[in-house]
Amino acid sequence: MKNCWLQNKTVLITGGASGIGAGIARLLITKYACKVIAVIIDDTGLEQTVRELGENSGNFTCLYYDVSQYENWIKIKKYLEDNSVQVDILINNAGIFPAFGRFENVAKDKLENCLNIDFYSVVYSIQVMYPHISKSDTPAFVTISSSAALAPIAGTAPYTAAKSASKALTECFAFEHPEIYVGCVCPGFTKTNLFSRQKEDISKNKLISAFMSKRDRMVKKIVHGIKRKKYRMVYGADAKLMEFLFKFFPKSFPRFFRWIMKISKQQMFEDIFIK
């Protein structure tokens, strides 16, 4: 453990108060004695995260900023430098998943919000934070993308587009900077609050839950992949299956998936099929 490059690092993570972000923060703190700075927009899930950290909560701090705004990253960078905090690892985890529906019916404000948080927050953070993080002895950038970036899924156009773009951006950045560690994670469906904008509670839906990974299990895989400095990480049985089927059946697999959604008669999918 002492030889692990993650030991005692300072980590900046977006969306670190709940869900996968909070799980990653907790594991990095409790297992690798990291100091974690979570950039959050509100207190959702924060109380529980601090409670779970217990005596280790002193290594967890929060900054309140909307990460989809470029100027806020300037402020974050200034705060770190003014307080002599050297960040070693940036983990872009913040994300939102709009309700399933046809793309032409997505309201402009919801579309922009999705693109801003799921894509532009990654763009701005890497561009602004690179000069700062590159000063670390072990600079690292990790993007938590999604299995949606592996195959097109009907009803998820804004989210899939944003996550695909963040994945591509991270991969390009990795090849531009082979001297530092840059990783991209494509996790499958995971039991978190990411799906709170749906018409029904996905966690209580037996059809969807059957394909969802438990949060802590997914977090362990992600952190293990980061520990090994893996460039590309696809975790979750559903994500691996999606990647495989789309690779060999690029036309029929998305159609089949849409058919499954239609015959399932699930309330959350009904807007996909309303003309």
Q: Is the dihedral of CA 200, 205, 211, 212 positive or negative?
A: positive
Mean pLDDT of 40-49: 91
**Tens-place pLDDT, residues 138-153:** 999 999 999 999 999 9
| 199 has pLDDT over 80 | no
Q: Which CATH number fits domain 10-273: 2.60.40.1250, 3.30.470.20, 3.40.50.720, 3.40.710.10?
A: 3.40.50.720
Tokens read off for 134: 């590159």
pLDDT score at 191: 74
**Residue 1: pLDDT over 80:** no
Residues listed for the chain: 275
Domains of the chain: which residue ranges?
Answer: 10-273
> Does the pLDDT value for residue 225 go beyond 70?
yes
Rounded Cα gap, residues 126 and 207, in angstroms: 37
Please determine, for residue 63, whether its predicted confidence score (pLDDT) is greater than 70.
yes
Q: What is the per-residue DSSP string for 36-82?
A: EEEEESS-TTHHHHHHHHGGGGGGEEEEE--TT-HHHHHHHHHHHHH
pTM of the predicted protein model: 0.91
Report the interhelical angle of 157-176 vs 108-115 (nearest 10°): 20
Reported for 128-131, long-range contacts at CB under 8 A and 24+ positions apart, including other chains, are 128/70, 128/73, 128/74, 128/76, 128/77, 129/12, 129/73, 129/76, 129/77, 129/87, 129/90
